Structure 1
């Protein structure tokens, strides 16, 4: 029987992190499915599921996606501000742009909101500099040093190589990097790992960064508990809303159209003694009976208002629990003032500020790993609040009367650090030109440098 790997050996870390990653992925796959609209079918009696399966599949209204997108849509990095002089801001922003992190960060924020966390990997380039890539939480997991949540002990990146059909993983330790692969395991089986050698690289080579090269984008972290999905408390209500919709659709199918009835008729029969339906009911046909006592009527159609109110109540529950504005989910706005809209979005804005605090930690660690000191990489976010241009200009004009510097007003306007610097230079250039014009008007044109001095007549 093979002996278990030695504690803290590369093989021990590989097996430990692989097991933890598989467990976490299995648990969070449910959130991913619900975000994509692949919900569990509403509960029905087993005998009724087959006839109504089409209706059950039509009953899934995806509010989970709206809840996540309302948050992630307002998480946008505008730039960086540093506490030191020089071009540190420009260096950080150039690194951000070179790695396409305008879109890459959005992918990371989205996966973090769905599954609870995601990662950014920092890799040194052979030609110099650093590559930063967003990593999916089903492919990466990290573990901190016991007793120190901010110091990472190890990380594992896992993926399937479609060219070779091998399962590959890379183990990152502060001192070294180890690469493994294994034939794709059978269903439920464990991979049989072996060393993966890459041309031009030494197996177990040195980790150039000297640290585990991942920044974690954490969503809703808690002490002594892992990060959590935004959908954790939404899924039960989503299932309840789907059940309400399914019940309404089955009622529509069976009783939404008024049933017809007739009395006092002699029902004809065929040669086999089977009754024949005497009428073919349609909107363009009339019912006629020769029997003197014949009467016709119809039953009342099913009232669907109760189902609609129940669904609306479910949506209001989702809005209250997730701090999502109700009009985002209901899709209707009736006579709402600007103040009412702002009050409706207050909970969402507060939630965004909370989420950003923890996302900043991962972003700042990532930039530090890429050679940008933490004092040179303070994250500047775009404002999550939506205000009319008139309201914003009015507020800024009032702030300017209090002596607030123009650069601060521009920042409140929503300008990026790069735009603020460009506007500042343009203002300085315009001021210099204006001062030059004033001086010329006052003292006249300056004589050429090589002109002879003009002597006053005696």
Structure 2
């Protein structure tokens, strides 16, 4: 029987992190399914599920996607800013653009909101630069030191190479990097992958970690002390199931009880030659029901009203809005005579949630830029404002702030300009002022001609 790996050896980290990653993936797969509208079908008796399966599939109304997108849509990085080195800010923004992180960061924010976390990986390039890539939480996991929770101890990246049908993994330690591969595990196998060392041409197995640190920045969504990031859908799934069940019941009511059901008594039902009942009437808009029996009586049951189902579904949607701080009009789709103040009040909870989520996301973003060697501890992430205001409201507020002596660069920032736009506007202003000083204002502010020589001085 093989001996277990030595604690904190590369093999020990590989097996430990692999198990944690698989367990976390299985736990968060349900959140991903609900975001993609692959909900569990509402419960029905086993005998009734097959006949009603079409209606059950039509009953899924995906509010989970709206909850995630309402948050992720307000998370947008505008630039980087420090008080000491503007050139470092430009280099940071250049690296951000070179790695297409305008879109890549959005992908990472969405995955963090769905599964609770995502990652940015920093890789040195042969030209001395850095490559930054968003990493999916089903492929990367980081573990932190128990005596220093903010310090990463090791990381694992796992992926399936479908070209070779191999499962590949890399363990990152602060000083070394180790790689393995194994045949793709078959479903139903109880034992883990049969790892062997993966040798890459030109690379030493267990090569040196050029960064000297774990090369990942973790983007955690609403973490807690002693708990990792959590999905925005954690408390929504149960309510989503309730909504789907209500919609399914309403659709079955519409299918079978949305029109008056007629009945007749005191009438003999005819049968065919095989003894099977024959429908005595052909119900239609232009038909009259007639019976020869004197005691025949006709009547109808009233059509079932869907109002109760509609109110129940609306109440559940309002629960989602309250629990997730999502504006109700995002989910209900109703905006009737709402003033600007009412809309702002309705979105206040979402804005507050965005600011909360950004505090934890900033830690991972700042670590990512520090790994790339172009951001200091004084640098900060500049976000686009999550508040949506009309230009008239914003301009009025900025004009009032300018009367208090607020610098124009601060006003531009409040307007929503990026650090790059602010620098460009400042240079344009300086250029316009210099041209004015050299032209129309030259006579008043420009250089003066030398005074005429004093004859007395010349004589002396």
Instruction: Give the TM-score category using the shorter length.
Output: over 0.9
Indicate which of 348, 363, 366 corresponds to 1:364. Answer: 366
Q: What is the deviation of 1:266?
A: 5.9
The answer on 1:41 being equivalent to 2:44 is no
The residue that corresponds to 2:290 in the other structure is 289
The answer on 1:3 being equivalent to 2:8 is no
Q: What is the deviation of 1:296?
A: 4.5
What's the C-alpha RMSD, in Å, of the aligned pairs? 2.3
Q: Which shows bigger deviation, 69-78 or 218-227?
A: 218-227
Secondary structure, in 3 states, of the residue corresponding to 2:157? Answer: strand
Cα distance per residue 1:93-152 (max 9 Å; x no partner): 001001110011001101000000000100000111000000000000011111211111
Counterparts of 2:55 and 2:86 in 1: how far apart (Å)? 64
1:248, 1:307 within 8 Å by CA — same for their partners in 2?
yes
Secondary structure, in 3 states, of the residue corresponding to 1:233? Answer: coil
Secondary structure, in 3 states, of the residue corresponding to 1:245? Answer: helix
Secondary structure, in 3 states, of the residue corresponding to 1:217? Answer: strand
Secondary structure, in 3 states, of the residue corresponding to 2:439? Answer: helix
Q: What is the deviation of 1:260?
A: 2.2
Counterparts of 1:316 and 1:106 in 2: how far apart (Å)? 27
Output the TM-score relative to the length of structure 2: 0.93
Q: What is the deviation of 1:444?
A: 10
Counterparts of 1:107 and 1:443 in 2: how far apart (Å)? 55
Secondary structure, in 3 states, of the residue corresponding to 1:87? Answer: helix
The residue that corresponds to 2:336 in the other structure is 334
Q: What is the deviation of 1:235?
A: 0.6
> What are the residue-to-residue correspondences of 1:177-326 with 2, within 5 Å?
177-187=177-187, 188=189, 189-262=191-264, 267-283=269-285, 285-287=286-288, 289=290, 291=292, 296-326=298-328
1:70, 1:324 within 8 Å by CA — same for their partners in 2?
yes
Secondary structure, in 3 states, of the residue corresponding to 1:170? Answer: strand
Counterparts of 2:141 and 2:445 in 1: how far apart (Å)? 72
Indicate which of 413, 430, 440 corresponds to 2:415. Answer: 413
Counterparts of 1:439 and 1:391 in 2: how far apart (Å)? 36
Structure 2 segments unaligned to the other structure (5+ residues) = 453-460
Secondary structure, in 3 states, of the residue corresponding to 2:93? Answer: helix
2:78, 2:384 within 8 Å by CA — same for their partners in 1?
yes
Indicate which of 429, 432, 438 corresponds to 2:431. Answer: 429
The answer on 1:54 being equivalent to 2:45 is no
Cα distance per residue 1:267-294 (max 9 Å; x no partner): 54444454432322223x3215374956
Counterparts of 1:11 and 1:279 in 2: how far apart (Å)? 78
The residue that corresponds to 1:29 in the other structure is 29
Secondary structure, in 3 states, of the residue corresponding to 1:374? Answer: coil
The residue that corresponds to 2:18 in the other structure is 18
Output the TM-score relative to the length of structure 1: 0.94
* CA distance 1:204–1:437, change in 2 (3 Å): same
2:75, 2:109 within 8 Å by CA — same for their partners in 1?
yes
> What are the residue-to-residue correspondences of 1:60-79 with 2, within 5 Å?
60-79=60-79
2:259, 2:304 within 8 Å by CA — same for their partners in 1?
yes
* CA distance 1:231–1:443, change in 2 (3 Å): closer
The residue that corresponds to 2:455 in the other structure is none
Cα distance per residue 1:278-336 (max 9 Å; x no partner): 322223x3215374956654321001111100000000000000000000000111111
1:221, 1:228 within 8 Å by CA — same for their partners in 2?
yes
* CA distance 1:295–1:221, change in 2 (3 Å): same
* CA distance 1:402–1:304, change in 2 (3 Å): same
* CA distance 1:401–1:54, change in 2 (3 Å): same
Q: What is the deviation of 1:435?
A: 2.1
Counterparts of 2:330 and 2:366 in 1: how far apart (Å)? 32
Secondary structure, in 3 states, of the residue corresponding to 2:74? Answer: coil
* CA distance 1:273–1:105, change in 2 (3 Å): closer
Counterparts of 1:69 and 1:217 in 2: how far apart (Å)? 17
1:89, 1:376 within 8 Å by CA — same for their partners in 2?
no
1:92, 1:376 within 8 Å by CA — same for their partners in 2?
no
Q: What is the deviation of 1:379?
A: 0.3
* CA distance 1:186–1:292, change in 2 (3 Å): closer
